[in-house]
Amino acid sequence: MGSLSIWHWLIVLVIVLLVFGTKKLKNIGSDLGGAVKGFKDGMKDDTTKLNDSADVGRTIDVEVKDKHQN
C-alpha cells in the first residue's frame, strides 16, 4: 500500500510526457546538464585559484626573543 509499483511509475512517466512533451524535456535536460558542467568548471577554477594564491606571499619569518634570557 505504501510503495509504488512499476506500473504507477510508468503511468506517471506517460502523464509527464503528455504534459511537457519530449522537446521540452530534452531542453530541460540539456539546460540542467549545462548548469552542472558550469558548476563543476567553476569549482575547479576556484580550487586552482585558491591553491595558487595560498602559495604566494604566505611565508612569515618571525624571530622569537625570550624575555627570561640570562
pLDDT along the chain (70 residues), means of 10: 82 88 85 91 74 59 70
Considering the entire predicted model, what is its pTM?
0.43
Question: What pLDDT does 8 receive?
Answer: 93
> Residue 54 and residue 59: Cα distance in Å, rounded?
10
Question: What pLDDT does 2 receive?
Answer: 66
**Helices 6-20 & 22-55, crossing angle to 10 degrees?**
90
